[in-house]
Each structure stands twice: as structure tokens, then as C-alpha cells.
Structure 1
Amino acid sequence: MNYSIIRYILGIVLKLEGILMCLPLIVGIIYSEKSAYSYVITIAMCLIIGTILSHKKPKDTEFYATEGYITVSLSWVILSIFGCLPFVISGEIPSMVDALFETISGFTTTGASILSDVEALSYCNNMWRCFTHWIGGMGVLVFILAILPMRGGQRMYLMKAESPGPSVEKLVPKVRNTAMILYGIYTVMTFIEVLLLLISGMPLFDALTTSFGTAGTGGFGIKNDSITGYNSSIQIIVTVFMILFGLNFNIYYLILCKKFKQALHSEELKAYLLVIFATIGIITFNIRSFFPTIGEALKHAAFQVGSIITTTGFSTTNFDLWPQVSKTILIMLMFMGACAGSTGGGIKVSRLLILIKTLKKELFTIVHPRGVKKITMDKRPIEHETVRLTNIFMVAYIFILAFSILLIGIDNLDFTTNFTAVAATLNNIGPGLELVGPTRNFGLFSDFSKFILMFDMLAGRLEIFPMLMLFAPISWKRQ
């Protein structure tokens, strides 16, 4: 284990967090809020500690998979600890546990909140709360890859540990350029959404915070009713962009390179869109009696399907009151999630396709023991290592899901609440059903249960393995 390089990267991460906190500080100054001082204090702490950790460049820059996983998981934990300090220092979320829960939920783009009145927060704290979604959506370490003192192959270990999906590919030969392309696309799409929301009549502050939540597929809103109070045009724009941010960003790169055929023939893209359109149709039919017109039912069905499958978590209506068929579909979409290489959470469409193809292969092998059948995706064979990791991921995922439900059962809440609370946090969605439904919050859980759910949020965002590596003794041995 190369501790010096881990220490160095953590220092860079802290300094970057201090710089990013300048945005809510500026907002606080603009609105003349006393809470702004909490950002001055936190920024100073981040810069001082970050400088101490990264002042000396390590002589040994060897960096492998173990360091990648440990660095990523520790970075997200440290980001969250320092990121929650403004809420505590300002006194707007006085409980350290609650503030940490809110911040982890922000960075992991979960959107599960302990707040019953988000409108009571100051402008600067609401900006930071939503901005954490944007920071965590693409991944802060993907952003700083361009300045890390490591060779390209070593940078790839960080990208693989932080990026969602069963496999990670470089868009161009250099990892630095790949990171720049990803953040370039991410930033431009966010800017376009902000512009469209402004044109549709949304105030600038609302447009920025909503776009941050949409881009990161997070779901923190600045209104107690989420997106419900805004006009239909705004709701439709948010629906479209939630679905767009749920796509694999490689597709956008291929489109920019005018490789339209390769982009549009993606099996994952076809499956993702097919599920979206099919579930919107079914839910619209199922909830048609809940709304005055079929058009209104279609709008709400499309919004909630887009919100849940991309694990954003915004809402325009209390879907906990919908019929069981619609609620069951939404729960299934919670687990499915968005595409690999997107900002969305969940198991991912590509993993489910690999699992289905693996099942078909096993059935073929039973019928034809001597037959040879390769698993392919987009007409390219899938490596055995990818299939193996997908299977292991599912085992770990099911274990964490079941064990977390068991552990938070100590609060003696109903099973639907516990099950959907874990599903919502592990899949980085936000709202669940019953006591954690779209009109409720997670403040009813004990501190112990909140820590379990915080682990689930981090494990879900980092694809489980980096967080498990933190607790594996072998990870910390010098080799």
C-alpha cells in the first residue's frame, strides 16, 4: 500500500473542496446572509489541511488497484465530513449525524433528506446542498485526474473505482483528455438546462439548483414540494434532462464525433429507452383516473419514471398514493437504474443485460453441453472478467441490501418503510414509500440506522467494492 500517494491525493481533494465552496460563499455574500461565515471557516480548514497533506510530492508514485479503491472511498468520506461542517457551524442542521447524512446524500446524488422544511435553509446552504449533487454526479476524482502526478495507466485505477458501470473505457488514449471530455459534456448540458429553465420562467437561483440536482441525478430541491409548484414547461424540461443525464456519456462523445450509427445501435441505449417508454405507457393507463386528463396523467407518469429510473428523486406528485401496479413498477425501476457511464445510480441497465445474457447462455449449455456460445454486447464479446465481476457485484449487492434491512429493523418501523429506505439509499434515489415517501423524510430513523443508510449511499454510488475494501484488512497491508 502506497500511503504517501493516498495522502497526497486526499490533500488535493480537500483543496478542491475548499475552492468549490466559494460558490455558496458568494451566494451568501450576495444575499447578505450570516451563514456565509461558516463557509469562510470551512474553506480555511480545507485549504490548510489540504496543503499540509499535499505540500510534499511523494517520491514513489506507484499506484495500483488497491490504492485506487482506498483513495476513492476515503476521498468521498472526507469530502462528506468537511462538506457537512457549514450546516453544523451555521446551526441550520445542528446535529453532526444529520448534517453528515444530508451531505453524503448530496455527494452520492441520493437526495434522501432528514429535513422537513428545506425552505428554512439559507440561500447559501441550499446552494451548497444542491451543488454537492453536481460535484458528485460525475465524480470529483474524475475532475482532478488532469492534475494528478501519475501516469495514464495509473490514473485509470481511480476512474474505474469512481465511475459507475461494469466496465470503464477511455474515450481517447489519454485519461486526462477523457476526464476533460466527460466534464465538458457534463458542464455544457447543465448550462443548456439552466438556460431552458430560465426561458420557461424559473428564477436564476432555482434554475441553478434544479439543474445541479438534475445533472447529478440527485433530487435535492429548494422547495418543500420538490418540483410540484413549477409550471408544466419546467416539469417537462426536467423530465427530458433527467433521462438525458441517465444515458452513457460515451454516446454523447460518439455523437460529437459524428459516429451516429455506433451511438444509436447501443443495446444498453435501446433497452433503457424501451423500458422508459413501456413503463410510462403502463403507468399512464393505470393512474388515468387520478388526474383530470390523460395528458396530465402522462406528464406525471413520464416525470416519475424518468426520476426513478435515473435515480434522481424529484417528484411532481405523491406517487405513494398511486395503485399498487404503478408503485411496484417504480420500485423495480429503483433497482434497475440508469445506464453505465451516466450520473445515475442503481444496478445499471448494462449489468442487467449481462445477467440476462449469462442466464440464456447457461440454459443453452444445459441443452447443448458441448456447444460454445459467447456473451456479446453490441456485437462485441464480453470478457469473462466482466461477467465474473458482474456476478460478484450482484452477490455483494443482495447481501448489503438484506443485511441493511435487518439492521435498521432495530427502529421497529414497518417493512415497506425499511425495504424502500434501503433500496432508495443503496440505489441513490432518495424517496421511498410509506414513512419515507416523496412527502416524508428520513429524519425518523435513529442515528444507528442513519449510519447504515449512509454506508449504503456511499456503497451504491461507488459500486460497492471501494467501500468494502475499506473494511478488508488485506487492503491496508504494505506490499
Structure 2
Amino acid sequence: MWQRFSLYDLRVIGHYLGTLTQLFAALMAVPFITALVFQEWEPAERYLLGIGIALVVGTLLQFLRIEPGRLGRRQALAVTGFAWIVLAFFASVPLFLSGHYATYMDALFDGVSGLTTTGATVALDIDHFSNADNMFRFMMHLVGGLGLIVVALSLGIFGKRSGSSLYTAEGRSEHVVPNVVQTTQLILRITLVIIFIAAVVLTALCISIGMEPVRAVLQSIWLAISAFTTGGFAPMAESVSYYNSIPIEVFLMLLMILGSISFVVHAEVWKGRLQSFFGDIEIRTMLIWLLVMTVVVAASLSASALFSDLPAMIRRGLFMVVSAFSTTGFQNVTTNQLTTVFSSGAFLALALIAAVGGSAGSTAGGVKLHRVGIIFKSIVSTVKEAVSPSSARVVVSYNHLGRRVLSSDAVKEAMTVFVLFVITYSVGALVGIAHGYEASQAIMESVSMTSNGGIITGIVTPGMSPSLEAFYIFQMWAGRLEFVTLLAVLAEIIASLAPRKRRVRQ
């Protein structure tokens, strides 16, 4: 039976959301300082206003402070579920006041897209964004890619008692180390080290193509954040094709692949346990999946004039495959080329790649390779049971941080999330078709929103239909929460709003 949210539950949820709001106010200090450094006074005013609003609201919610205690699972699910939307409203304030958005809904869309690391944007004139606005966009990617709860726990804000419930509610079940706070700190440390090294390399590459040093440093930091968090925002409207540099594209592909690998596997490599990397079910599934789909896309592109020679096919095709697989959304082809030059087979193949996504426990979205591997193992188990004697006991195992035996619970979880993703992909495509768009475009856009992929085909545009935009916002939110958390929260809300049944004493 679903339980109602009590007044105590609402106070607890409000208290924790207030804490996250205050943390988000601290995040907005980064673009505010950036504006001061570059003497961008108008953006500085906007971010100061945003900081003030977030601090006031967060402090008011803090007055709902309750006695210390362990955070319940229901409360943790609600905090995690609402945080992505609540903080997106605060993010939309400085974005909308920038004048780069046609409507407030567009600014909210970009706020949700940034925090969920979808990377699709409806901003106007991106090439003339201030440094502060760009810094804010990529800070949202950094916090959203790591996870709002992970960042809060790594800073020691919630402590160990409540941290475990929140960590699990955000869709993370595996621990690098036994302590939740130490796990989140290691995740943050790995991320910052990789982004720092990547920014240094990208700075050198940007300077080599003639970019001035300060601009090269800023754009390199933003590209490094967006690539590793598999976000997809780019500082220029033409995305990666703006740089027209093969070395930059190759390095970004490496970063996107690293970002789509589970942090747990990163930690094992960090500790020098390379056998865990090559034997992991997700890594093996990733290699097979990428190989098969790359061949499919290459075969589909071979008939196109733009990809008639092998170097062009490798450069354009492989980059788009990696971008779709990691659900990053970078593009080294224009949206017009994507919809006109790409064959329908290659187009739908990219949608299928983005639908599966990267590894569980990574910054990538989609169904996740771990679940695909589990489902494949369950098929193998079913076939083995069919051909084995009735007295035989079939055991199927796999490697994921040690040897594991395939269980019915693991298969049930994988199939449940897989089905929910497929249903949402399908419904989103139908909604796009109902708004008058072609089926292939509607499918790709729906997959990109739900998998937090970001490769768009022209449906997501400034001033788009409010009803379609609202549905895409819901898809980004649902995909980031991987449905289970969201459905649990919605069920609790419905139970709370339903009228109580009165018992009549006879």
C-alpha cells in the first residue's frame, strides 16, 4: 500500500531541499566571480540576484528543521526527485534575464537540460554568450553529471546517516569504498583530476589552431567538463564542428568514452586493478555494442556523398557514434546535415545507440549497458534451461566487481527499467508526431530527451510549442531519475492527494 506524506515528511523534504538550494546558491557564485573578473557587470547583477533568491528560499526552507535522525527511504526519494526540477527553476532566473531566451519556458528548458546533462539547448545567439553565462551552463553540467546528492555528500553536507538513503535514491547502489561520504569524495576527486588534465591538453590544442590564450583556456575547461560529464553543451552554436580540428575531435571522443564508464570501474583502475576493467560485463558489452553499431552506421553512410571517402566517414561517422553512445550530444555535423545527408538507417542507428547509453554509475544516460548485459545473460540462462535436463540446475554468472551469479531480482530490475524507457521513447515519439513532425525526427528527439543525449534534429528550437517543450522537460527529468524514483514519488503524491475513506461504525 502507498502511504501518504505526513506533515513531518513534508518538513523533512523541505529541509533537505533548502540545503540543496543553498548549495546551488554557492554554485552560482562561480559565474558571479567570472563576471567580476571579466568586468561583465550586467551578468554579475543577474547572478547576484539569483544567489539572493536561492539563499532566501533555501533559508526559509531551513526553518523547517527537524530533529536529527536517519532519512527514510520515502523522504530520500522525494528529495532526490524534486531537487532536479526545483533547482532548475532557480537556474532559469539568471538565464531568462540574459535576453538569450525567447520565453521563460525556454530558460527553464535549458536549466533542466543543463542539470540533467542532456545538452539540448533553445538559447538564442550562443556565440555571444557572456563568459559568466557560459560558465554557469557548464557548472550545471558538472554538478548534474556528478549528481546533486553526490556533490552534497562529498562536501559533508548531509553526513553519513542520511547520506546512504540519498545516495541510493539517486540511482547509485555501488560503493567504491564502504563509507558513502568517502565514495562520493573519491568520485569528485577522479572527476576533477580528469577534467584538469583534459583542460590542459585541450588548451594546447585550441592555441595550436590560432585561438587566443585566455579564450582557449575558458573554452577548454568548458569542453572538458561537457565531454567528461557527457553533457553536450558547447560554447559555440556550431558545437564541435566550429573548431574544425581532428585532434580536438579525437581527444573529445576519448573523454566521452571515459565519461560513459562507471566511476566504480574508474576507481578500480585508479587502484591499479586492471583485471577488473577488462573483465567487467559493462566494458565487454560496450566494446561489442560499439563495434557492431559502428559497422551498421558505416554501412548506412557509405551511400552518402558526404561520406564517400573513408577518412570523412571515420571522422564524421565515428564521432557521432561515440557522441550518441555516451549520450553527450556533441555534433561535428550540422543539424541540417544530420537530417538531410545522413541516411535514414544511420539516423535511426544513432537513435538506437543513444537509447542504450553508457554504463550504470557513470555520467551517461539511457537504459545503460549493465542492464543490457543482464538482459542478454537472462536470455542465455533461459536457453540453457530449455536445452538442459529437467534435473539440472542452471547457473549463469558474470563479472562486475567480482564474480556474480545472475539473480531473478537483477533481471527483474533490468527488465522493468528497460520497458519503462522503451515506453517513454515511444510515447515521446508519438507526441512529436502529433505536433506535426516526421516520425524519424520525432523518434530521435524523444530518445535524446529521455536518454539525456542531446543530439537534436530541429524539433527542439527557440519558442517551440509549449506543450511539446513541457513534455520534453518531463522526459529529461524522468530519464535522469531512471523512472523508479520518479514513479515512487508520483505514487506517494497521488496517495497523499486521494481523499481518505471514512470508516462508518455500525
Distance across 1 between alignment mates of 2:15 and 2:306: 56
Displacement, 1:183? 0.8
Return the match for 2:91 from 83, 91, 95. 83
1:208 aligns with 2:221: yes
What SS does structure 2 have at the residue aligned with 1:201? helix
Aligned counterpart, 2:397: 376
Matches within 5 A, 1:316-355: 316-317=332-333, 318-320=337-339, 321-355=341-375
Distance across 2 between alignment mates of 1:290 and 1:235: 18
Q: 1:286 to 1:173 in 2, by over 3 A?
A: same
Distance across 1 between alignment mates of 2:396 and 2:12: 38
| Structure 2 unaligned spans of 5+ | 208-215, 498-506
1:17 aligns with 2:24: yes
Aligned counterpart, 2:325: 309
What SS does structure 1 have at the residue aligned with 2:193? helix
Aligned counterpart, 1:295: 311
The one-letter code sitting in structure 1 at the alignment partner of 2:271 is C
**Is the 8 Å Cα contact of residues 214 and 245 (structure 1) preserved in structure 2?**
yes
Q: 1:280 to 1:327 in 2, by over 3 A?
A: same
The one-letter code sitting in structure 2 at the alignment partner of 1:445 is M
Q: 1:384 to 1:107 in 2, by over 3 A?
A: same
Distance across 2 between alignment mates of 1:476 and 1:139: 28
Paired positions, count = 469
TM-score, normalization: structure 2? 0.87
Displacement, 1:232? 1.6
1:419 aligns with 2:443: yes
**Is the 8 Å Cα contact of residues 293 and 349 (structure 2) preserved in structure 1?**
yes
What SS does structure 2 have at the residue aligned with 1:472? helix
Distance across 1 between alignment mates of 2:343 and 2:368: 26
Q: 1:278 to 1:394 in 2, by over 3 A?
A: closer
Distance across 2 between alignment mates of 1:50 and 1:43: 10
Aligned counterpart, 1:272: 286
Displacement, 1:267? 1.8
Cα deviation 1:149-179 (Å, max 9, x = unaligned): 4544x42222222246xxx211111100000
Note the aligned Cα RMSD (angstroms): 2.3
Return the match for 2:475 from 426, 434, 456. 456
Aligned counterpart, 2:129: 121
Q: 1:37 to 1:94 in 2, by over 3 A?
A: farther
**Is the 8 Å Cα contact of residues 284 and 294 (structure 1) preserved in structure 2?**
no
Matches within 5 A, 1:71-470: 71-93=79-101, 95-146=103-154, 147-152=156-161, 154-163=162-171, 168-202=173-207, 203-230=216-243, 231-284=245-298, 286-287=300-301, 290-291=306-307, 293-317=309-333, 318-320=337-339, 321-368=341-388, 369-378=390-399, 379-433=403-457, 435-436=458-459, 441-443=460-462, 445-470=464-489
**Is the 8 Å Cα contact of residues 411 and 449 (structure 1) preserved in structure 2?**
yes
**Is the 8 Å Cα contact of residues 5 and 61 (structure 1) preserved in structure 2?**
no
The one-letter code sitting in structure 1 at the alignment partner of 2:16 is I
Cα deviation 1:333-388 (Å, max 9, x = unaligned): 01110011110011101101111111222233344455432342213113432222
Distance across 1 between alignment mates of 2:127 and 2:332: 17
What SS does structure 1 have at the residue aligned with 2:100? coil
Cα deviation 1:447-471 (Å, max 9, x = unaligned): 1111111010011111112222332
Distance across 2 between alignment mates of 1:110 and 1:422: 12
Q: Percent sequence identity over matched residues?
A: 23
Distance across 1 between alignment mates of 2:423 and 2:92: 29
What SS does structure 2 have at the residue aligned with 1:380? strand
Displacement, 1:223? 1.1
Q: Which runs of 4+ in 1 moved over 6 A?
A: none
Displacement, 1:124? 1.6
TM-score, normalization: structure 1? 0.91
**Is the 8 Å Cα contact of residues 175 and 264 (structure 2) preserved in structure 1?**
no
**Is the 8 Å Cα contact of residues 324 and 455 (structure 2) preserved in structure 1?**
no
Cα deviation 1:97-135 (Å, max 9, x = unaligned): 111011101111111122353113322222212221111
What SS does structure 1 have at the residue aligned with 2:426? helix
Displacement, 1:304? 1.0
Displacement, 1:286? 4.9
Displacement, 1:193? 1.0
Distance across 2 between alignment mates of 1:38 and 1:148: 27
Cα deviation 1:301-345 (Å, max 9, x = unaligned): 221111110000001113432233322321220111001111001
Distance across 1 between alignment mates of 2:492 and 2:16: 21
Distance across 1 between alignment mates of 2:90 and 2:487: 22
